Structure 1
């Protein structure tokens, strides 16, 4: 497996390279500026020498010009000169120096200033024409050896390379130190994260102690840990509740079976025990079926079918189904309002049935159960609310947020009510509402409990199907 560089190493390398490039670029600019400065100085000196030649040529006769130029120019080390008359005849030239390359460069370049190399030496030159009374036009070519400047520039380049490398190394060390210090909060967060286990989910990232660039990451991780802690808590509670819910019917089945098998019984007793066992098995079957339905809804929230649904008709059909039970409990079922939605008919009916069954279980005898259908606008879109309301015992406020958890019971002793409910009805109703893109809410104040189903109006083609 290819080794990966740490973030500190990457930042150090990038910082070192950036510093080296910046320093090298600065050094090149300085080098070019110095070379240009030396060239300007050299050409300024050459220009002074041209003026000197003009002055000497103008001060005496043409015949003595070579002697006078020699006396004036031969005392300048590294300086060379050549003077020709209008006919191209050489009047003066530095002894032992070949001006052929200089003349060729000057002619070809057609410039006043030029540079050339001769015998391994670099020269800068200047070409000029001087009008001398009595001698006519003189062509003057002067040059000077740049060895001194070249030697200085070579030494400067070596120094520049050395100090650039040294500065890049120093920048790398400082960059490593800065990156390590700057990434220290990440290492702190990593050490905190390593302490998080299934039994220790209360650890949080230090939001206030990290830079602002990492504060958002720390806050996001804290929110994730909070969700995990809450989900883990709910999962633990669900596991405990599930074990309790399964243990009770299984214990009943085992106890009754052991008792009836402890000694011979008549056929009527066996039938009685088998009927009781069948009821417990039906309860277990309903619980398993509800659990499978919830698992399917949570892992793929889709609708098997979608069709227009007239809500008042569905409520009336459920009233017919629960009419006998309501009469036994002395409770009246009332309905008002109307509305239409698009969704799965069986799911919507099951959600309403769960709420009606829950209301009948907890309603006070002689008090009505009211189902109200209210079309309304929600965030610029059409929506329909279905309110199921009954009077009965007030649900404690601290318990209301967990009403839709699996096996949720207000009675913490988990005493089974007289009904055969599995404690999954409200959780299933919430899953159905999520599949329809809606929501469910509950409130219980002064003995009046309300459940509100909110369906967002959607077209049939907008519904996702399996």
Structure 2
């Protein structure tokens, strides 16, 4: 299993590695710069010695005179080695020192024109230069000059040890400071965690105090508060839904239990038993419808799928529903009116169910002698179906909740003239959303309109 590390540990490690890398690069830069400076100093010193040797050569009258003069001049220069060659013949050479045979090639390829080499006796830097003899046609002399750089190397070794120690110590200190900074910087996050742990289902309204957090975490706190607000709304809606569901189920079950207990209290005739069973069957049918509606809404919560999408003539479906509700409308003394035409792509049974729910509600709440109008408007963008009826104006504050499950505009739990459970509008909304549409409601001046919009889809 992959190890999990805290954010403080990760930040500390990253900060330590970054600090160590920066310090190593800085130390390397210092060491390289100092070493380059020593090379430049040695180059200048070697050029001076070559210039001095050239002057001595120009003043010498013979090889013996050259040796004498160079011994006198170089006697006081400790760590300096000189060799003067004429072809393969050595005119002068410092005692007990041997130059590399390929010094000329090394000088040509070396950095800054200074060759470096190492022997058992030490480390050296050297240069070579051709010195023509004035007034002579003989080949020029080769002057080789070398310096003992042991003191430079000793200084560099000491400097590198100091730099390594400093970088190690500074990296450890930077790591500790990084841990301290990360721990202090993440303190608001720990406070947010503690606050979140104290939030329960009964305390969802206790949000995060975003003003107390840094700017970088204020947005996170605000987002969490928005999430908690949505959760509280859903939790309250679920609690209310559970209460309504329990009440709606309790009523028919209590009716069945009471009627059954009364029936069993004494002997009944066959006719009475048949009447009681018929009454119980009505309650069972109501329970079955309610359960079927709840299953339908449960599917809608997880994404309702259109089983049989097809091109539907909405006006034909509305006309068929008019025939179905004609008897009820005549009983309520309500006239049904259809206006307009339109098509949409969707499931025929679902659409008929949504339109049926709106029609039954409109007929139920329309006073005698008034009209229920179904208006259909289709264009290039989609189809709008409006169900309009005259009747009691719905309170504006209740309109947003009309599509909640088990919600009724009146405060009573059950209307005497209706066996509905308050799920019709919720089902209608789920069907419209399944068709990627939207449904709205408005009520004013004794007129209520439910409007369903279905966007047009390719055939």
Residues in 1 aligned to 2:391 and 2:333: alpha-carbon distance in whole angstroms: 13
Give 1:250's match in structure 2, choosing from 242, 253, 263: 253
Q: Which residue of 2 aligns with 1:300?
A: 303
Secondary structure, counterpart of 1:342 in structure 2: strand
Quick check: 1:30 aligned with 2:33? no
Aligned residue number for residue 21 of structure 1:
21
Matches for 1:136-175 after TM superposition, within 5 Å:
137-175=140-178
Tell me the distance in 2 between the aligned counterparts of 1:416 and 1:323. Answer: 22
Taking structure 1 as reference, are residues 107 and 300 closer, same or farther at Cα in structure 2, changes over 3 Å only? closer
Q: Is the 8 A contact 2:443 2:449 kept in 1?
A: yes
Among 344, 348, 351, the alignment partner of 1:345 is: 348
Q: Distance in 1 between matches of 2:148 and 2:106?
A: 21
Residues 194 and 445 of structure 1: is their aligned pair in 2 closer, same or farther, counting only changes over 3 Å?
Answer: same
> Which stretch has the larger CA shift, 312-321 or 132-141?
132-141
Task: Report the equivalent of 1:464.
Answer: none
Distance 1:208 1:105 in 2: 75
After TM superposition, give the deviation of residue 98 of structure 1 in Å. Answer: 2.2
Q: Which segments of 5 or more consecutive residues in structure 2 lack a partner in the other structure?
A: none
1:202 aligns with 2:205: yes
CA 120–2 in structure 1, closer or farther in 2 if over 3 Å, else same: farther
8 A Cα contact 2:357 2:424, kept in partner: yes
How far off its partner does 1:209 sit?
Answer: 3.5
Query: How far apart, in 2, do the equivalents of 1:327 and 1:412 lie?
Result: 28
What SS class does the counterpart of residue 443 from structure 1 fall into?
A: strand
Match in the other structure for 2:67 = 66
Decide whether the 8 Å contact of 1:54 with 1:132 is kept in 2.
no
Paired position in structure 1 for 2:103: 105
Q: Secondary structure at the match of 1:81?
A: strand
Q: Deviations over 1:94-143 (max 9, x none)?
A: 122223x2x33335655653121122411000111222336753221111
Cα distance in 1 between the residues matched to 2:142 and 2:458? 98
SS at match of 2:210: coil
2:450 matches 1:451: yes
Tell me the CA shift for residue 268 of structure 1.
3.2
* CA-to-aligned-CA distance 1:405-428 (integer Å, 9 cap, x gap): 111112233133311112110011
Give the 3-state SS of the residue equivalent to 1:458 in structure 2.
coil
The answer to whether 1:371 aligns with 2:374 is yes
Indicate the residue corresponding to 1:92 in structure 2: 92
Partner of 1:122: 123
Q: CA RMSD in A?
A: 1.8
**Equivalent position SS for 1:341:** strand
TM-score normalised by structure 2 residue count: 0.94
Identify which range, 273-282 or 26-35, moves more after superposition: 273-282
Aligned length: 453
Q: 1:291 to 1:110 in 2, by over 3 A?
A: closer
Unmatched 5+ stretches in structure 1: 461-466
Partner-residue secondary structure (3-state), 1:77: coil
- In the alignment, the residues of structure 1 paired with residue 51 and residue 106 of structure 2 have an alpha-carbon distance, to the nearest angstrom, of 24
Give runs of ≥4 in structure 1 deviating > 6 Å: none
Checking the alignment, whether the CA contact within 8 Å between 2:87 and 2:141 is kept in structure 1 is no
Partner of 1:49: 49
Partner of 1:79: 80
| 1:159 positional shift | 0.9
Matched, 1:431 2:430: yes
Q: Normalization by structure 1: what TM-score?
A: 0.93
Aligned twin of 2:413: 414
Matched, 1:289 2:289: no
Alpha-carbon distance in structure 1 between the residues aligned to 2:29 and 2:7:
33
Partners of 1:128 and 1:141 within 8 A in 2: yes
**Aligned residues of 2:103 and 2:127 also touching (Cα < 8 A):** no
